[in-house]
Amino acid sequence: MKLHVNRDVLADAVAWTARILPSRPAVPVLGGILLDAHGEDLTLSAFDYEVSARATVEAQVAEPGRTLIPGRVLAEITKSLPDHPVEIVTDGAEAILTCGSAEFGLHTMPVDEFPALPEMPPRIGAVGGGLLATAVAQVAPSASRDDTLPMLTGIRMDISGHNVTLAATDRYRIAAREFLWHPERPDVTAAAMVSARVLVDIARTLRAGEVSIALGDGVIGFESVGRRTTVRLMDEQFIDYRSRLANTPAIWATVPVAPLVEAIRRVSLVADRNPAVRLSFGRDQVLVQAGGGDIGRGAEVVAAELEGDGIQIAFQSHFLLDGLSGLETERVRIGMDTPTRPALITDDADDPTFRYLVMSLRLGS
C-alpha cells in the first residue's frame, strides 16, 4: 500500500475513528484502525463488536492495499504531525508514515484477524445533525448510569411518519424531546433503544451536516459527510413514558429561565450535604431557598406568573437544573399538582417539544 493524504484530513479522520477504540481490547486487533486504500479513497475503520466507525477521505493512492495499525498510537502521531502532506507506505510488517522530515515506522497487526464490520442497514430517514445533537443532549442527562439496569442507560427513539421522539429516564425523572425529520416513507414506524453514552458521542461528532439514519437486524446506523457508524441496539423494553407525560397539572408557573437557573445555583452554594432546593410560588414571584444545615441558608426571589393556587415544592437541585438546561425558550413552564407529586417542566410554547417530569422531595416540617 502506498498513498498520499492531506495532514489535517487524515488527523480528523483518525481522531473520529479512534474515539470508539476500547481502552482494554478483548483481543489486540480490536485496538487497531484498519486502513483500506482503493481508487481515490482511504477508508479508516474501527470496531469493538458493539460500535463500528468508518471514515472515508480523499487520497492519492499509488498502490492499493490494507493495513491494520495500533489506533491510539496512530491518533497521537497524526495530531502532532507538521503541516505537510502525509505519505503512508507498507513494507512487510511495518507501516511507514512520513510527513515532512518526520518519519514513523509502526508495527502492523494481522489484517485477517480483524472482524468484519456490520453492514449498514436500510436507510429510513434523515435529520439535521445540529437538531439531532441538540435533542440527544436534552434527554441524555436523564438516562441512568447504573449498568445493573441496562434498560435505563439507553435513549428510546420512537419514529412515526415525520415525527421522532427521544426519551430517557433514570426512575427519578423522564425527559422527552420531539422533532420533525425527513423519512424515506411517510408511513414509517420504528422503535429503537440506543446506549445514551454512545448516542451522545455520535450526535456530537456528526452535528455538522445532515445525518442519515438506518435501522434493521438489531443495528442502527448513522452516516454524514464521509462518516459512518453502526451501533448494536439494546433490548426495546422501556417504560410507558407518554402516559406519564400526558398529565395536565392544576397549577402552572411561568418563570424566566436564566434568572431561575442563576438563583438555584447561588442558593445551592450553602446546600452542603442537603442538595434540596425549595420553590415557593406566589402571585408574582417564586422564592428559591436552600440550605438550613451546618453551613447556613440562602434565598432569592425571582419574578414569576402563577396560574392556580400558591404552592411550595422541593427538588434535587441538579435534577432541576438538568431539566432547565434542556430548554430552548427564554421562559419555562412548571406544572404542579401537590408538593408530593412530580412536576412537569416544558418549554414556553403552545405545543411544547421538550417535556421533563421530575420527582419532588418531601418537605420537612
> Cα torsion for 87, 91, 94, 95, to the nearest 10°?
20
pLDDT digits (tens, 9 = 90+) for 185-213: 999 999 999 999 999 999 999 998 999 99
Neighbours of 135 (CB within 10 A): 25
Q: Which three cell numbers stand for residue 362?
A: 418531601
Contact call for residues 93 and 75 (beta carbons, < 8 A): no
Q: Nine-digit cell at 103?
A: 518519519
How do residues 261-299 score in pLDDT, each as one tens digit? 999 999 998 877 668 999 999 989 999 999 876 778 899
363 against 308, higher pLDDT: 308
pLDDT category, 365, cuts 50, 70, 90? very low
> Buried b vs exposed e over 87-120: b needs ≥16 C-beta within 10 Å?
bbbbeeeebebbbeeeebebebbeeeebeebbeb
* Digit-coded pLDDT (tens) for 20-67: 999 899 899 999 999 999 999 999 999 999 999 999 999 999 999 999
Q: Would you call 337 helix, strand, or coil by DSSP? A: coil
Predicted pLDDT of residue 286: 97
Residue 345 pairs with which residues in a beta bridge?
Answer: 334, 356
pLDDT value, residue 275: 81
Percent of the chain with pLDDT over 90: 88
d(CA 319, CA 111): 47
Q: Is the pLDDT of residue 97 over 70?
A: yes
Grid cell at residue 179: 422533532
Q: What is the pTM of this model?
A: 0.92
Q: Kindly report the backbone phi and psi dihedral angles of residue 314, in degrees, each rounded to the nearest multiple of 5, phi listed first.
A: -125, 150
- HSE at residue 324, side-chain half, CA atoms within 13 A, is 23
pLDDT tier at 237 (50, 70, 90 boundaries)? confident
| Residue 282 per-residue DSSP state | -
Give the domains, in start order, of the chain with CATH numbers.
2-113 (3.10.150.10), 123-243 (3.10.150.10), 247-358 (3.10.150.10)
Spatial separation of the C-alpha atoms in residues 191 and 120, rounded to whole Å: 17
Q: How far apart are CA 198 and CA 203, in angstroms?
A: 9
Mean pLDDT, all residues of the chain: 94
Instruction: Identify how many contiguous H helices and E strands the chain contains and give both numbers.
Output: 7, 27
